[in-house]
Structures are given as C-alpha cells and as structure tokens.
Amino acid sequence: MRAVLTIVHRYAGLLLAGFLFISGSTGAIISWDHELDDVLNPHLTEAHTKGTAQPSLDLAARIAKTYPQARVTFIPLSREEGESLSFGVEPRVNPATGALYKIGFNEVFVDPVSGAELGRRDWGAAWPLSRENIVSFLYVLHYSLHIPAMWGIDSWGMWLMGAIAIIWTLDSFVGFVLTLPAKRKRVTAISFRDWWRRWTPAWKIKTTTSSFRLNFDIHRAFGLWTWGLLFVLAFTAFSLNLYREVFYPIMSTVSQVTPTPFDTRTPTAPNKPIEAKIDFAAIVTAARAEGTRRGWKEPPGNIFYSSPFGLYGVSFFFPGDDHGSAGVGPATLLFDGASGKLVGDREPWKGTLADIFVQAQFPVHSGRILGLPGRILISIMGLVVAALSVTGVVIWARKRKTRVARGQRSLKAAAQSSQTRSPARNRL
C-alpha cells in the first residue's frame, strides 16, 4: 500500500508542481495588492486636491457621459483621505454588431474633490504589462492563469485551477500518510512512545548532511509543520474556483445553505446584459434606509451593478474597511435592477453554520479573516507552497537520476556477463 501511495504522491506532485509554484508565489504577493498598487501607481491612487468631495453618484454620471460606450458598474461611496476614487466600468453592446464595444479599460480613477480624471486602466489585463496593471495581472494569474475564453466560455482557467486544487487537497492526505513510520515486518504492535520516536525525525531538518537529504528534510518537515494550513489553502482554492459548479451544490446536499439571488439566477452572456430600470441613486437611497432600519452603524461604502444577473449590491463599511480588515467581509444588500426591490442580503457571521462556512472561504484563503497577521501568514504560506513545489521536483529528479544510473549499471553488467560467457560457448 505504501508503494502505491508513493507513486500517487510522486506523479500528483509532478502534475501540481508548476501550478502550485505559480499560485504560491503570486499568492505571497497579492496578499498586499492594495498596498502594492498604491506604491506602484500613486498617480492613479492618490488625490491631493483640498476641499469637499463631490458626490460619487455625480462623478459616475460624468464618467457615463464622457464614455457613452461604457456602463458604470461600480461606484465607491466612501473615500479615504488623500485617496482617489476608483470607478468600475464595462463595455456596452454595439447595436450595429451585437458585440461589445472595445473600450480598452475597465477602471477609471477620479479626484473626488476636483472631479478630474486621473487615469484609466484595464484591471487584470494579460497584455501589455505595465506598472499600472502588474498587480492585477498577478491576481488573475493566481486563480486562472489568464487562460483565454474558448467556445464562448471564459471559465477554463478557473476550472483548471479548481481541478488542481481538488487534486492538491487529496494529495495532501497522501503526503501526510507517507511521513508516518513504515510498518515493520514481523512486528505486530509497538508502543506509542516507540512509534513517536520513529516519527520524530520527519519533523526535523538535519543541516549537517548531504544536499539531497537536506532538500528532502525541508520538503517533508515544511509539509508537516504547515499541513493544516496547506489543507485549508487547497480546500478554499477549490471552493472559490468551483463554487457554482461543485462546491455550492455539494454544500446544499449536506447542509442548509441559504441561497442568494446569485445562486438562483442564471447569468446571461456578456453581450446580452440585463439593463437596469432603476438607477444607482434610487438604490443607494433604499439601501441607506434599510441599513438604518436594521440598526447598522456602517454607512453604504460602495454600490455595484451586475449586468449578467440584473442585480445591484450595496456594501456597508467605514472608509478603508473594505480591504485588509479582519472578519468575513462587509454586510451587503442585494436589490433587483428591474424593480428596485430588496431580494437578498449578506450579514457577516449570521445565518446557518453552512452560510457562515461559505462566507469564510475567501477571507480564510486570503488570510483577511485575521486582518494584518492573517495576511502576513498567507504570504509566508505562499512561499512555503512554492518551496514545496521546487523541493518536490528536486527529489523526483534526483531519485530518477539514481534509478536511471542503476538501470544503466545493470544493463552494462548484463552485457559484460554475456560477453564473458560467449568465448566459453565458442570453445564448446
């Protein structure tokens, strides 16, 4: 059985290595996406005009007028001092062709006081790379590898990385079992003390040894010490990438999950968006009234419109708490874009146990559930994942080299033996 598990771990590890190296190294970086963006792009993220900020809805209307081929989909309603406002946009449908306009950007930065446009960019674009989109490039690379849409489906990258996460989750158990002491022949039972004494070396890294042994110890010990966190990262990666396809259906069969309109509605194609009949201002007014009725202390922090689902969402938080803060994220109200009626909500830490479990998937995966300490931990774990990928490949390569050399020596020995016997046959 151990031999079978060794083979499974070897080839699963080889399959996973490249993907996990990319995912781990990018994950260590994007834990600080907001901060890195501020450092790299102050010309976009900073605003220095003094005075009273203009209403965000007015600024959004100005963007819509300036770019009639674009639809505003995200409006920040609160701002941090010295920060610009970032508005999300998407292309409208060209009535002449039925295809989306090519506008070349999906984010517009505005000075909240003067109303001046500070710049635009295509968040998450794969090319061309620049300092303005390098962080978002790494973000998308992390979960989808920038695999392009094919046959009208743009989820291939997420599906692939979700499948990789499933294999990683299962292989983490295989790797753990292989660290346990092998069962000795002709020994029916051993004491726990003896068993632990035999397992203890697996947790240690011996520095006064060969480079191969050091590499092996690093791979095994790192995997053991961080096993629980590695499992959590693998599982949450699966749940996030395959949420609609696998995770939500499974959760719904084993526990009581409260569906949101995003779960019950089928998204439309990108070139067939659902046009909202209620405007942003009316939704913000309704959301503010509903938040007050519920006794929420936080003000509306942003509003978005999802055209594939025909839904508005309003999130409630104090300025700056939308990124890097601890917990499972802000409270959110969902409104129907056609009627303006409240159709769903999300309240942190409320609902069934399954609801809270679902809420926690991204905050746990990103470390944001613990705030700053969690993000530091996830950055370290990203490096651990990358290191395990490299050391695993090195172990395989060294062992393969040894197996090949052993095979060549066997063939050479067999050939020499054959040549030695041949003269004897000739004499006979």
pLDDT, one tens digit per residue, over 362-420 is: 999 999 999 999 999 999 999 999 999 999 999 999 988 888 888 888 778 777 777 77
Q: Are residues 145 and 32 in the same domain?
A: yes
271 within some domain: yes
Are 267 and 276 in contact, with CB atoms under 8 Å apart?
no
User: What pLDDT does residue 190 have?
Assistant: 78
User: What pLDDT does residue 408 have?
Assistant: 80
Cα 298–299–301 angle (5° rounding)?
110
Q: Are residues 215 and 328 in the same domain?
A: no
pLDDT, one tens digit per residue, over 141-175 is: 999 999 988 887 788 999 999 999 999 999 999 99
Dist CA 240 CA 164 (whole Å): 12
Are 6 and 178 in contact, with CB atoms under 8 Å apart?
yes
Radius of gyration of the chain (CA): 28
Dist CA 390 CA 395 (whole Å): 9
With tokens 């995770």, the residue in question is 247
Domain endpoint, select from 113, 130, 147: 130
Q: Are residues 78 and 176 in the same domain?
A: no
Instruction: Please enumerate in sequence order all residues whose Cβ is within 8 A of that of 331, keeping only pairs 6 or more positions apart, or say none.
Output: 291, 296, 298, 315, 316, 317, 345, 346, 347, 348
Helix (H) or strand (E) holding 107: strand 107-110
Q: Are residues 117 and 169 in the same domain?
A: no
Q: Are strands 117-121 and 311-316 parallel, antiparallel or unpaired?
A: unpaired
**Does the bond joining 319 to the residue before it have cis omega, within 30 degrees of 0?**
no
Q: Are residues 47 and 37 in the same domain?
A: no
How many whole angstroms from its chain centre is CA 252? Answer: 22
Q: What is the residue-level pLDDT of the chain in tens, covering all 428 positions?
A: 888 999 999 999 999 999 999 999 999 999 999 999 999 999 999 999 999 999 999 999 999 999 999 999 999 998 888 999 999 999 999 999 999 999 999 999 999 999 999 999 999 998 888 999 999 999 999 999 999 888 877 889 999 999 999 999 999 999 999 999 887 766 667 788 888 999 999 999 988 888 889 999 999 999 999 999 999 999 999 999 999 999 999 998 888 899 999 999 999 999 999 999 999 999 999 999 999 999 999 999 999 999 999 999 999 999 888 876 778 999 999 999 999 999 999 999 999 999 999 999 999 999 999 999 999 999 999 999 999 999 999 999 998 888 888 888 877 877 777 777 666 555 55
Q: Are residues 152 and 291 in the same domain?
A: no
- Which tokens hold the place of 109? 């930065």
121 within some domain: yes
Residue 272: CB atoms within 10 Å: 11
User: What pLDDT does residue 154 have?
Assistant: 83
Q: Which residues pair with 70 in a beta bridge?
A: 91
158 within some domain: yes
Instruction: Please enumerate in sequence order all residues whose Cβ is within 8 A of that of 102, keeping only pairs 6 or more positions apart, or say none.
Output: 91
Q: Are residues 319 and 378 in the same domain?
A: no
411 within some domain: no
Q: Are residues 265 and 299 in the same domain?
A: yes
- Which tokens hold the place of 64? 């819509």
End-to-end CA gap in the chain: 49
With tokens 């009273």, the residue in question is 52
Helix (H) or strand (E) holding 356: helix 353-359
219 within some domain: yes
Are 314 and 321 in contact, with CB atoms under 8 Å apart?
no
Dist CA 337 CA 275 (whole Å): 8
215 within some domain: yes
- Please name which of 78, 59, 55 lies closest in space to residue 67, comparing C-alpha atoms: 59
Domain containing residue 269: 259-350
- Which tokens hold the place of 147? 């695999």
Q: Length of the chain in residues, anyone?
A: 428
- Which tokens hold the place of 340? 């303006």
Query: Looking at residue 41, what DSSP letter applies?
Result: -
Query: Looking at residue 419, what DSSP letter applies?
Result: H
Q: How many domains does the chain have?
A: 3
Q: Are residues 51 and 138 in the same domain?
A: no
> What Å distances lie between residue 12 and 5, 36, 147, CA to CA?
10, 34, 22
Within 145-210, residue ranges assigned H as helices are: 156-179, 192-199
On the 0-12 / 13-18 / 19+ scale of CB atoms within 10 A, 149 is exposed
Backbone angles phi, psi at 342, to 5 degrees: -70, 120
pTM of the model: 0.89
User: What pLDDT does residue 421 have?
Assistant: 66
- Which tokens hold the place of 302? 């942003």
Domain endpoint, select from 86, 109, 130: 130
User: What pLDDT does residue 355 have?
Assistant: 93
Q: Are residues 33 and 145 in the same domain?
A: yes
Q: Are residues 154 and 119 in the same domain?
A: no
Q: Are residues 212 and 333 in the same domain?
A: no
